[in-house]
Structure 1
Amino acid sequence: TRRSRLRRLFRLPRSRRAIGALVLVIGAFGIAFMVGGFQMIQWTETADFCGRCHTMGPELAAHAAGPHSEVSCGECHVEPGVSGWIKAKINGTRQLVEIVTGTFPEPIPPPEHDSLPDSKDTCGRCHDVARIDPSNLVTRLQFTEDESNTRQFVGLMVRPGSSDILDTSRGVHWHVLRDVEYWAEDPFAQEIALVDATAPDGTIREYIDQDQIRIAEDVTPDVEEIKAEMQQVQMTCYDCHNRVGHPISNPRRGLDADLSAGRIDASLPYIKREGMRVLWGSYPTVEAADAEADKLANMYELHYPDVYKTKPAAINEAIEQIKLLYRLTATPEMKVTARTYPDSLGHTDYPGGFRCHDGGHYLIENGAVTSKTIPSSCDTCHTFPQIGGAVASLPIGIPPATHDDSEYVFNHRDIAPSVDPGGTACGECHARDYCANCHETGAVTVEHDQMLIGHAQSIKESPTGAEACSYCHQPAYCARCHNEPVLPGGAPLAAGDPSAIPRGPPGLRWPLLATVPV
């Protein structure tokens, strides 16, 4: 019968040796299944697995070349423990459905703060903020966008800060050692409307963005509206180091690196400026970007025929390198440009620290706005940058109390009327090259007394025009009011970019980039 045949087929072994062999076989299969399953789980948290679905070439390339290349995706994006793993797989299933059905967003939005593990469980496993050196020397080589691509050195002392949470006058890292919360208008947190900073004694200092104020004598309704409509975020490492896992090199730094290494010939006229123009652009396809880069040869043929005839190989090599840089900074099929994802570390290409330290976030006391703001002096997070053909002397010590005045950069001439600090108290810390670093730019010819209402006229009257302004001000700073670039050397700003949108107007929502027609 059928039952007897099944019994003969699946009958249990009768000898101990056969039973032992069966147990070994079953155990081997069980161990292999567990090991394979564990390895499969680990693989699902690697860049190799994640990159098979997310068509984000620059993200993967940046991770592979970045300082965290040995850190898997899951170590930063998945909360530790079983619950975190289950949550990640549920979210991954939703993403899989979006990919299969073609409903995934383009570009991929940045992760919300609530979806990321606590930075103490990720960054804190390797980086102890309390033990980071209070000052770090940073030097960089950059090239200007003039005809000769002038080579410049930039040097400054960055002040990460100390472990003293009571000292907030200088440095950066006390932000994550203290209880600091903010409310932002957009998913990138490029427009911060309200900031709450809790002191060790429990007192709260609240600062409101000037663009959110309707009645200065009573901002309570404004604060209530902000807290009701915007997301509350606890400040963590992610707020400044938001691209640390995927440090995509922006066009400016990418071109500087290539020019410095000789991969692009710095003697080609305006190659830095033209490379910036190509790389900051928005294109429907990679081929369209390549076609724009190829036009550089026509530019040299038309305007620099001698260069075109004598350096054809250098021109072609520069074009090919610019094409490679584009592939490392943009993904047109996902509508991702070089400006899609702001990098909040610094403030040269994006608002960065100026999101709060812009002089426009005012302290609230008894429901009314005061004249006090979040500190915004140039030396709060770093020393005054030294820019020139060679790095000048950098002051390292704690500056005198007079330097805390936000207007000191303008009125210090009352103490040191000459570019040579010798014979004055300034000479104890500063050498002549430090002063000449600013004075030789023409910035001192600009009168700042009436800058708020008359800076356009002051710029017109300055011998160097807006070039003097660019020594202190970055494009992102001016873009708070200006929709178009106003500083020489500033990158073209795409419509809808966080750096291109003036502060205050409503409607700053995802996506923050120009829509590319397909």
Structure 2
Amino acid sequence: MRRRIRDWVSPVVYLSNNWISLTGVVLVTGAAVAWILLLPTMLTGDAATPYIGILTFLILPVIFFAGLGLIPLGIRLRSKREHTSGIYPTAFPPVDMRNQSFRRLLTFVALATFANIVIGSQLTYRAVHYMDSVTFCGQACHTVMQPEFAAYQNSPHARVACVDCHIGPGASWFVRSKLSGAGQLLAVTFNTYPRPIPTPIENLRPARETCEQCHWPDKFSADRIRIIANYAEDETNTETKTVLLMHIGGGPQVRGIHGVHLGPGVAIRYAHSDGKRLEIPWVEYSDGKGSTTQYASPDFKPGTEKTMRVRVMDCLDCHNRPTHVFELPETAVNHAISSGEISRTLPYAKKKSLELLKASYATHGDAQRRITEEFAAYYREQYPDIFEKQPIEVKRAASAVWNIYSRNVFPEMKVTWGTYPNHIGHTDFPGCFRCHDDNHSSASGKNLTQDCNACHNLLAMDEENPEILKTLGVR
């Protein structure tokens, strides 16, 4: 038996001593070593990024099996070449250390394995850390992810890593992310990804496992004053302010916005008739005290919820854009004027800014050129004195208008104003009014309230000098 094995192995060792087979050996050992180095990460799920799944389950297997294919290919080609040339040996050297070919092959495999371990360990370590980085998530697929990355950089969570929210801890979601990442890679490779990229609401991890690692509804939040500045489209950019007293709530009591929706024992289910969850005809509210009430829109037929997608409400049903926040032009310009990026001393600054922001542009490059040039040209032609005395303000304002456009509109990805609805509030999108429209009624005739004071008190509405702010000592 041993002799038969030796007789079979001897020609393999002899014929595999060629550059094609040796290349295959390098690929096989390299892929195997990299896979072994990634194994702890795969088993524990510590490296929470789908791209490690791409590396582990797509790239390394391809390299491994390509190497396996090269080894017999090289053997076959050498055998054929030597048979054709008439130099194919009738007997082969023994497979032991006296055989020079065997020693050479063994030495090569040992050196290749050692080199792969040294190089692979360093590359794998660096690759894992790089693929966990915000830079990789946001910029590796530049055109595809540019809208989301730009919005992320302008968000309250700009210092939170992408993987902390999109994947979170644990092995199960790590595996899901691998499969998702593989599909995304194929879509980018073959240019089959949708434009714009849809919000991933279907397969997003529950907020209790991500958001609530930092934010938790059991924490009580007191009422807060919110001041909203607005600027008119007149020559002086007249400022008015709206002042709201927001009832945040939460904590052990069922009060305020958070308490009523996410308080102790409270459970809300709803049925939505569209993929974006904008149409919500049925809501079920359990108050945590044993009482459950169902509310439905006027055209809803009882029992239809069984044929619709029903979801348990969590943070993301209202805070659906907690990080990738896309602004509307009016809101963005108001903020830019408030922060001083656009000077109020420039006549019709808001009106001109909105005019340029709402125009159509073919590309970002086209938009940048036209916005900056046309903004400056407006003041140079219509207000030459202002242009001469305040050139820095004009230039800074033009740059601010372009920056607003650049982080909200992406012609190449078909992302424009309002592409991604924000469910917080109800002024720009339906938001709260998806349920609180005063039309969702229970069997007893009770409606889901649309009373403004349930969520906030309106202390001032578009006033130039709100008295409440004077009382509070707020400028």
Question: Shared fold by TM > 0.5?
Answer: yes
TM normalised by structure 2 equals 0.68
Distance across 2 between alignment mates of 1:284 and 1:173: 46
Match runs of 1:132-281 below 5 Å: 132-164=220-252, 167=254, 170-177=256-263, 178-210=266-298, 213=299, 222-228=301-307, 230-281=308-359
Distance across 1 between alignment mates of 2:348 and 2:166: 42
Q: For residues 442-488 of structure 1, give each alpha carbon's deviation from its aligned partner in whole angstroms, at most 9, with x where no partner exists.
A: xxxxxxxxxxxxxxxxxxxxxxxxxxxxxxxxxxxxxxxxxxxxxxx
1:281 touches 1:337 (CA, 8 Å); kept in 2?
A: no
Other-structure match for 1:289: 367
Rate the CA distance shift 1:58–1:344 in 2: closer, same or farther, 3 A: same
Q: CA deviation at 1:93?
A: 0.9
Bigger shift: 237-246 or 250-259? 250-259
Equivalent of residue 212 in structure 2, options 124, 139, 142: 124
Equivalent of residue 86 in structure 1, options 175, 181, 188: 175
Rate the CA distance shift 1:124–1:36 in 2: closer, same or farther, 3 A: farther
Distance across 2 between alignment mates of 1:359 and 1:70: 39
Distance across 1 between alignment mates of 2:418 and 2:340: 26
Matched residue type, 2:340: G
1:138 touches 1:155 (CA, 8 Å); kept in 2?
A: yes
Aligned partner of residue 329 in structure 1, secondary structure: coil
Rate the CA distance shift 1:67–1:265 in 2: closer, same or farther, 3 A: closer
2:371 touches 2:402 (CA, 8 Å); kept in 1?
A: no
Equivalent of residue 389 in structure 1, options 464, 467, 471: 464
Q: CA deviation at 1:340?
A: 0.8
2:296 touches 2:440 (CA, 8 Å); kept in 1?
A: yes
Q: CA deviation at 1:171?
A: 2.6
Q: CA deviation at 1:119?
A: 1.0
Distance across 1 between alignment mates of 2:273 and 2:371: 35
Q: CA deviation at 1:249?
A: 4.1
Rate the CA distance shift 1:150–1:33 in 2: closer, same or farther, 3 A: same
Distance across 1 between alignment mates of 2:260 and 2:419: 29
Q: For residues 253-298 of structure 1, give each alpha carbon's deviation from its aligned partner in whole angstroms, at most 9, with x where no partner exists.
A: 3322321233222133332133224324554322443436644456
Q: CA deviation at 1:180?
A: 0.7
Distance across 2 between alignment mates of 1:209 and 1:34: 60
Rate the CA distance shift 1:8–1:240 in 2: closer, same or farther, 3 A: same
Other-structure match for 2:130: 43
2:337 touches 2:343 (CA, 8 Å); kept in 1?
A: yes
Distance across 2 between alignment mates of 1:187 and 1:293: 38
Distance across 1 between alignment mates of 2:153 and 2:407: 12
Extract unaligned runs of 5+ from structure 1: 13-21, 214-218, 395-430, 434-518
Corresponding position: 1:349 with 2:428: yes
Higher-Rg structure is: 2
TM normalised by structure 1 equals 0.63
Distance across 1 between alignment mates of 2:329 and 2:418: 10
Q: CA deviation at 1:364?
A: 3.0
Distance across 2 between alignment mates of 1:130 and 1:32: 49
Bigger shift: 91-100 or 240-249? 240-249
Other-structure match for 1:53: 141
Distance across 2 between alignment mates of 1:283 and 1:192: 35
Same amino acid, percent of matched pairs: 30
Distance across 2 between alignment mates of 1:2 and 1:62: 67
2:147 touches 2:415 (CA, 8 Å); kept in 1?
A: no
Aligned partner of residue 348 in structure 1, secondary structure: coil
Other-structure match for 2:152: 63
Matched residue type, 1:209: S
Q: CA deviation at 1:38?
A: 5.5
Aligned partner of residue 384 in structure 1, secondary structure: strand
Distance across 2 between alignment mates of 1:322 and 1:289: 10
Other-structure match for 2:3: none
Equivalent of residue 450 in structure 2, options 376, 387, 406: 376
Other-structure match for 1:5: 100
Matched residue type, 2:456: H
2:326 touches 2:420 (CA, 8 Å); kept in 1?
A: no
Q: CA deviation at 1:163?
A: 2.2
Rate the CA distance shift 1:203–1:303 in 2: closer, same or farther, 3 A: same
2:371 touches 2:401 (CA, 8 Å); kept in 1?
A: no
Rate the CA distance shift 1:2–1:246 in 2: closer, same or farther, 3 A: farther
